[in-house]
A and B are shown apart, each in its own frame.
Chain A
Amino acid sequence: MKEFFKKLEKLDRRIIFIFVACALILPLFIPLNIKFSVTQPVQSFYDTIESLPEGSKVLLSADYDPGSMPELWPMHLTAVRQLCKRNIKIISIQLWATGSPLAERVFNEVAIGEFHKKYGEDFVNLGFKEGREVVMVSMGNSIPQTFPTDYHGNKTDDLPIMQGVKNFSDLAMIVNISGGLPGTKEWVLQVVSRFHIKLASGCTAVSAPEFYPYLQSGQLVGLLGGMKGAAEYEQLEGIIGLGKRGMDSQSVAHLVIFLFILIGNIAYFSTRGMKKEKG
């Protein structure tokens, strides 16, 4: 047995890669339909949007790039879908330049494609603005001055949706889809603490642990962490999207990794005992 563990210690990492690949690929062809429950942070995210009155205006900041799409794209789609369904007006901005075409795609697919919403009246994409935290603080003074034109070059002041919108006090809440920096942390530090507006975040799983303290302190009203968060959000919306479909693969891959960690530790402690005996 100990010889077996000794061999395991020198196991070629490529064998582990094959196991992980199989664990990810097979459930895509043979769905396992593993059930999962909705966690409180996701429920709060959903409930906060549900509690907004019809016609209110929400700022949707899509701060991510195609690299984070598998995790953030499903929650971005679902958030726009929920906002459109509730007849809430969406003002979208991006603090990541690569977020602008993604925001456009989501609007075309959901707001126009599914809900036949009108650009400039029901939703608007103000586009990308360089400046990170400076842009956030500047928006606290004036959103139209920070974004004088939208993504398509239209004057912001002329758009019907922007009538009566001066700064954060004219918005019901902020929904942030965050791929890193600048993202949720900066929105919390620069905007929530200064302008006292509700913020809900959808973020990558990597950054989720960093944001849980903000949830506990009430600085975030809801949190979607990674693909699991997206899947739970899709479940609440009653749709089967990319998040939910990826959960089988995710679960099986986690199980495989867990087993490898367990076996690796058993092998390590067993062989350590052998080395001590020899010594």
Chain B
Amino acid sequence: MPTSELIGTWVAAGLTLFCFSFLYKDNPFYKFAEHLYVGISAGYWTSLEYHNVFRPNLWDPLMRLDLNLLFSFPELGFSFMWQSIILIVPFIFGILFFTRLTKNYAWLSRWSMALIIGIFAGIAIIGYSTGDLITQIYANILPLWTGNWLSSLNNIILIIGVITSLIYFFFSKEHKGTLGGAAKIGIWFLMISFGASFGYTVMSRMSLLIGRIYFLFGNWLGLIQ
């Protein structure tokens, strides 16, 4: 194993043990690992955003902007540099974010926020309405009898589950009588789905722990292959 990799493995193993020490109780080793992680993450993401987003998408194209060409040959220059010129708009909106640091002009940052929220809301609404709402409603319009007992039972359970769960979230009328009974069945369906989610969450967390144990006993100590 190369020296750099060996050092990396030992550092990673040490930090893993520091994190695991929290299982016993809170201690300075855990705090050290926690603060180190937060600090490194902040630095890493700042650097990453600067090199992968800010420079290639905004700064470098803006720096290539040749104003002489624009003024000498307005038509030619403008068409060539339109893609760079338009970047001044997001650049200004980006700068406006920093007005949050001032008391008097902090309100200007809302323009940038409004732009971002507007764009993402527009994209998300289309996605959710076509991909989630309509398609899922369509997917739940199922025949109660398919010619096969098992698939018919599956469809019936699915339809009862959807309707009763929706009734549980219907608050315009008091949950009494038939409505109350249906809402109670809905609660059972919801509880089963929460149970399934919890089971999958346990599985996920165990997998992460297995990954760390593999690392400690395999990569670090070399006890397992």
Residues of A within 8 A of B (CB): 14, 17, 20, 24-25, 28-29, 67-71, 97, 128, 130, 133-134, 137, 186, 188-190, 192-194, 204-206, 208-209, 213, 216-219, 225-228, 242, 246, 249-250, 253-254, 257
Contact = CB atoms under 8 A, between A and B. Distances in A.
Nearest to B124: A133
B98 interface: no
B203 A216 contact: no
B207 A219 contact: no
A227 B200 contact: no
B130 interface: yes
A209 B197 contact: yes
A226 B197 contact: no
Interface stretch (B3-11, B87-95, B106-114, B134-142): B134-142
A219 B130 CA distance: 11
B29 interface: no
B171 interface: no
A68 B48 CA distance: 20
B104 to A, nearest CB: 31
A17 B119 contact: no
A205 B203 contact: yes
A257 B31 CA distance: 28
A69 B131 CA distance: 28
Interface stretch (B68-76, B183-191, B209-217): B209-217
B201 A29 contact: no
B206 A253 contact: yes
A244 B49 CA distance: 37
Contacts of A206: 200-201, 204
A18 to B, nearest CB: 9
B128 interface: yes
A130 B126 CA distance: 20
Interface of B: 23-24, 48-49, 52-53, 57, 119-120, 123-124, 126-128, 130-132, 135-136, 138-139, 158, 193, 196-197, 200-204, 206-214, 217, 223-224
Given A225-B200, A250-B203, A250-B206, 18 more contacts: A28-B213, A28-B214, A70-B212, A71-B211, A128-B52, A186-B127, A189-B130, A193-B127, A204-B204, A216-B139, A217-B135, A227-B203, A227-B206, A227-B207, A227-B210, A246-B210, A249-B213, A254-B203
A28 B131 contact: no
Nearest to A190: B127
Given A133-B127, A188-B131, A217-B135, A24 B23 contact: no
A185 to B, nearest CB: 9
B52 A97 contact: yes
26 contacts: A14-B23, A28-B213, A28-B217, A29-B224, A70-B214, A71-B207, A71-B208, A97-B48, A130-B49, A130-B53, A130-B57, A133-B123, A186-B127, A189-B132, A192-B131, A193-B130, A193-B131, A194-B131, A213-B136, A218-B139, A226-B207, A227-B207, A249-B206, A249-B213, A250-B210, A254-B206
A193 B206 CA distance: 34
Contacts of A137: 123
A267 B221 CA distance: 40
Contacts of B223: 29
Nearest to A219: B135
A250 B214 CA distance: 13
Contacts of B211: 69-71, 246
A226 B123 contact: no
A206 B201 CA distance: 5
B163 to A, nearest CB: 15
Nearest to A73: B211
Given A130-B52, A193-B135, A216-B139, A249 B210 contact: yes
B210 A70 contact: yes
Contact of A242 (B52, B119, B206, B214): B214
Contacts of A254: 202-203, 206
B127 A14 contact: no
Contacts of A186: 127
Contact of B207 (A17, A20, A29, A205): A205
A33 to B, nearest CB: 15
Nearest to B209: A24
Given A70-B207, A70-B211, A28 B224 contact: yes
Given A29-B224, A190-B131, A226 B214 contact: no
